[in-house]
């Protein structure tokens, strides 16, 4: 008897979209629009399919519906949808036969951005009243991370300075004299900046406001900051950050110092610059081992496309020697085959442990997972598992769309993770907490 497997057909959809500031999904509150360009290759379309119904939905917005008549005499079918408000949308596609019966159906979350093309992948599953067989392979996986029941621990204020900030991301936490200090990125598509909060337990936080933004006299932060790494040495806070320029959102690595973590003096020039072979550099994670600084950072050859993690070393934190690529996404692991980025590295028993965000082109390039790997030298890495360390399924009871931007620290014998996720309740980035 013929067996029917779950994944039958994969259609590739190319979405025209927009992005102004960060490698993240754009806030749906903004009124700008983008478009969708759909391309279907003849050989991937079952002969019985005659029409595709495309539906885009999201809370608070009108439903957008379009259709395509499938002409199998054409080698490639192209179709465009324009004037779609930017943001996250739920995409559903129904594939109908000549009688109007839905034979296949696929859906996913997609993002509409500005001024660029991104790729989403939709798996079309069979529908209908016929029968078939199902082969099921079950893999048991229980996350080791225990979620805080107070998640999200950093969220937008009901009213006030960050009420409309789409981004609350990229937390970095230190513990100083019993007080937890958090720096994180906050803002919207016009400007992202560094904010600060304090806590006595690492879970309940008091926001202290913005500490580094365009009010700083340095030209390096004139257009904002989109990722940070911080350490404290001999009473001095040191920050490595990715500045945004007028022409580039991943412009290399800058450096700043502070005596109190609030007032920052920015180094006059970048301490690590982009090159022709590495045109987009961002998301540094800096640690110190044996009097040497190790900086793990992200590289993209094409903006917002496949990313890899690289290493540079320094004796003073300012003058760096590039050591090249050290970690890539595994092509045979679906949840990270579109790249790895935003590393968070810590030392434990003289061993490097890296937590990273992974992107999946199977699920759509805007999906995020958190992975883990270990190394004794920072160059040769062993992946910890074929399963993600954390996914949106693990954040319950906090309902999230996906997880990104981990920061992991060891405190009182526990591993503590601060991570960012799109909250399903308001469709904005917020910060969560888990421990093990």
Given a cut of 70, whether residue 138 has pLDDT beyond it is no
Quick check: is 402 in a domain? yes
Q: Do 159 and 114 reside in the same domain of the chain?
A: no
Q: Do 117 and 176 reside in the same domain of the chain?
A: no
Q: Do 286 and 429 reside in the same domain of the chain?
A: yes
Q: Do 113 and 170 reside in the same domain of the chain?
A: no
Instruction: Name the E strands within 265-399.
Output: 265-266, 280-289, 292-300, 307-314, 320-327, 340-348, 351-360, 364-375, 382-383
List the CATH number of the domain containing 375.
2.115.10.20
Position 36 scores a pLDDT of: 62
What is the tens place of the pLDDT at every residue in 397-424? 999 988 999 999 999 999 999 999 999 8
Return the DSSP state at 136.
Answer: -
Quick check: is 131 in a domain? no
What is the tens place of the pLDDT at every residue in 115-129? 554 455 566 778 766
List the CATH number of the domain containing 106.
2.60.40.10
Q: Do 16 and 54 reside in the same domain of the chain?
A: yes
Quick check: is 252 in a domain? yes
Given a cut of 50, whether residue 364 has pLDDT beyond it is no
Tokens of 428: 């904005």
Given a cut of 80, whether residue 287 has pLDDT beyond it is yes
What is the share, in percent, of the chain residues with pLDDT greater than 90? 58
Parent domain of 345: 146-435
Q: Do 112 and 221 reside in the same domain of the chain?
A: no
d(CA 323, CA 314): 10
Tokens of 330: 């595994």
CA-closest candidate to residue 401, choices 111, 31, 145: 111
Quick check: is 329 in a domain? yes
Position 298 scores a pLDDT of: 97
- DSSP letters spanning 61-109: S--EEEEEE--TTSSEEEEEEEEEESEEEEEEEEEE-TTS-EEEEEEEE
Q: Do 189 and 293 reside in the same domain of the chain?
A: yes
Position 424 scores a pLDDT of: 86
Q: Do 166 and 256 reside in the same domain of the chain?
A: yes
Phi then psi for residue 76, to 5 deg, are -135, 135
State if pTM tops 0.85. Answer: no
If pLDDT is split at 50, 70 and 90, which confidence band does 86 have? confident
Position 308 scores a pLDDT of: 97
Q: Do 99 and 201 reside in the same domain of the chain?
A: no
**Which of 126, 159, 180 represents a domain boundary (last residue)?**
126
What is the share, in percent, of the chain residues with pLDDT greater than 70? 81
Average pLDDT over residues 357-380: 81
Quick check: is 431 in a domain? yes
Cα 11 → chain centroid: 23
Quick check: is 137 in a domain? no
Q: Do 263 and 359 reside in the same domain of the chain?
A: yes
Quick check: is 139 in a domain? no
Phi then psi for residue 284, to 5 deg, are -75, 145
Number of domains the chain contains = 2
Quick check: is 133 in a domain? no
Q: Do 298 and 166 reside in the same domain of the chain?
A: yes
Q: Do 93 and 26 reside in the same domain of the chain?
A: yes
C-alpha distances in Å from residue 367, one per residue of 253, 264, 400 = 26, 34, 11
């Amino acid at each position: 008897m013929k067996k029917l497997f779950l994944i039958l057909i994969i259609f590739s959809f190319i979405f025209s979209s927009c992005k102004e500031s960060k490698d993240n999904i754009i806030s749906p509150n903004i009124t700008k629009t983008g478009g969708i360009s759909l391309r279907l290759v003849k050989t991937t379309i079952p002969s019985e399919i005659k029409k595709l119904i495309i539906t885009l939905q999201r809370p608070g917005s009108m439903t957008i519906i379009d259709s395509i008549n499938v002409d199998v005499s054409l080698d490639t079918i192209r179709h465009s949808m324009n004037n779609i408000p930017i943001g996250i949308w739920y995409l559903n596609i129904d594939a109908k036969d000549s009688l109007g019966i839905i034979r296949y159906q696929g859906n996913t979350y997609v993002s509409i951005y500005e001024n660029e093309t991104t790729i989403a992948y939709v798996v079309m599953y069979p529908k209908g009243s016929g029968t078939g067989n199902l082969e099921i392979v079950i893999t048991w996986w229980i996350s080791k991370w225990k979620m805080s029941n107070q998640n999200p621990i950093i969220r937008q204020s009901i009213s006030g300075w960050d009420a409309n900030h789409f981004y609350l991301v990229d937390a970095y936490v230190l513990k100083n004299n019993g007080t937890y200090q958090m720096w994180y990125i906050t803002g919207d598509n016009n400007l992202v900046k560094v904010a600060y909060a304090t806590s006595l337990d690492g879970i309940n936080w008091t926001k202290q406001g913005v500490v580094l933004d365009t009010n700083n006299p340095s030209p390096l932060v004139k257009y904002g900051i989109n990722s940070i790494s911080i350490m404290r040495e001999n009473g001095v806070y040191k920050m490595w950050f990715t500045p945004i320029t007028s022409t580039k959102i991943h412009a290399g690595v800058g450096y700043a110092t502070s005596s109190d973590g609030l007032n920052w003096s920015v180094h006059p020039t970048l301490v690590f610059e982009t090159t022709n072979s590495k045109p987009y550099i961002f998301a540094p994670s800096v640690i110190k081992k044996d009097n040497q600084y190790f900086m793990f950072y992200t590289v993209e050859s094409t903006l917002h496309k496949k990313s890899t993690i690289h290493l540079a070393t320094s004796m003073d934190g300012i003058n760096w020697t590039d050591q090249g690529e050290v970690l890539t996404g595994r092509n045979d692991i679906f949840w990270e085959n579109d790249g790895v980025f935003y590393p968070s590295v810590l030392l434990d028993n003289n061993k490097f442990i890296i937590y990273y965000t992974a992107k999946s082109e199977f699920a759509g390039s805007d999906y995020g997972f958190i992975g883990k790997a270990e190394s004794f030298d920072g160059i040769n890495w062993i992946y910890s598992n074929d399963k993600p360390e954390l996914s949106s399924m693990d954040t319950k009871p906090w309902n999230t769309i996906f997880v990104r931007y981990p920061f992991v620290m060891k405190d009182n014998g526990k591993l503590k993770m601060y991570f960012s996720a799109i909250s399903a309740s308001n469709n904005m980035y917020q910060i969560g907490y888990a421990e093990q």
